[in-house]
Amino acid sequence: MKSHRRMWIGALVAIAAAGLAIPLLRTQDPPPPAPEPPPAAVPPLVYAIDFADDRHGFALWGRCVGESDHPCESRLLVTEDGMAWRSQAFATEELASPSSLVGRVVALGAGRVLLTDLEGGARFHSADAGRTWRAVPAVPDSEVAEIPPDGLLEAHCADAADAGSCRIAVTLPDSGHRAWLTTAPALGQPSPEQRPLADGSWWVNGRDRSTGQWSVAVSRDAGRTWSTAVLPFPPVPAYIRVSPPAIAGTGPSVYALATASLPDTLESRTLLAIFHSGDGGQTWTQTWRIKDQPPRTLGGAAVVTPDGALLVAPDDIVGSPYRSRDGGRTFTAATDAPRLAAVRRTRTGYLASAPDRPQGHYRMSTDGAGWTDVRLPDR
């Protein structure tokens, strides 16, 4: 009997102890979750650059963290001697902390600079070398009879998805505002060269409104009058998307280079045809057509050097540029020229990425023949 009593007493004690322990366990907070690792940082990079001349330039520097909900950081880089760059913070939050690193910087000369193609189509203008900024509208709000010095020629489309809604506009260097050009060439789907060629001529390509043929218009009086000529473009299958031809040259010798996106290729700028004019754009002859020989792609703007040669950089980071000395009929590898990529025209020459150098290295030239290395800071 005593042993049974001890068993009951022991059981009661155990139950009581358990009953006391359960509330204690319930009142204890669960352990805190492990802290999330910080988002991975993406290495900083220079994602836009332009020069007003061989000494004065602007660039956009930025870096982001790995998560999309963390803002990026962006700064303006400025040089006044073509070599040393100073970093300048943006006072405007929209510019200092974008959600992604997009946009272009356009040097307009005399301390004037434009930021365009930003998120949401925003545009900002500075008249004091980037110290202060003012938002400017993308839609033209006035009209001009001629393109001012340092102006930009652009196409403004009422509907971004409809090339037929595009008209020629001028970006005014003093304010950054756009204005309609009073006398624009009568071309459909106009695509202008933003800057004039070295001889001061302005060029717009597009399609003839009645026939749909690719045509090129040129003005030698700052956009007051235009002369237009049809390119002898061969028939192209409808499934090939042809880009507006790019213009290169100076004086009477001018080239139009047509590119296209071809199906089943990874190259978006396949070189389709080259046209040459020896009379300043009045008449054109096709001198080159797509073939299984280089150059196969066009990496930005084509370059015409002082000796009349046509220099074409490939649209990748492999290989040398190709040079033609016979009006674009035949090409050979320009092994004596530096490696170039993403070539673009500036106010006073050319600027290109240096694909054989680390990120942040560029090459600049006033005539396309002699090139100077440009290195930007990465921190």
Which tops the pLDDT comparison, 80 or 11? 80
For residues 297 and 303, what is the distance between their CA atoms, to the nearest angstrom?
A: 14
Is the model more confident about 262 or about 222? 222
Q: State whether the Cα torsion 304-281-157-133 is positive or negative.
A: positive
Model pLDDT, residue 83 = 87
Contact 310, 304 (CB under 8 A): yes
Strand 303-304 and strand 310-312: the pairing is antiparallel
- Among candidates 103, 71, 176, 163, which has minimal Cα distance to 133? 176
Question: In the predicted model, what is the mean pLDDT of residues 113-129?
Answer: 95
Q: How confident is the model at residue 59 (pLDDT cuts 50, 70, 90)?
A: very high
Q: How do residues 140-156 score in pLDDT, each as one tens digit?
A: 999 999 999 999 999 99
The residue-averaged pLDDT of 272-293 equals: 94
239 pLDDT more than 80: no
Residue 11 pLDDT > 60: no
Which residues lie below 8 Å from residue 250, measured CB to CB, with a gap of 6+? 197, 198, 199, 304
Instruction: Give the per-residue pLDDT at 41.
Output: 58
Band of the pLDDT at 240, cuts 50, 70, 90?
confident
HSE-CB for 217 with a 13 A CA cutoff: 26
- Residue of 176, 54, 208 whose CA lies nearest to 106: 176
| Single-letter amino acid, residue 335 | T
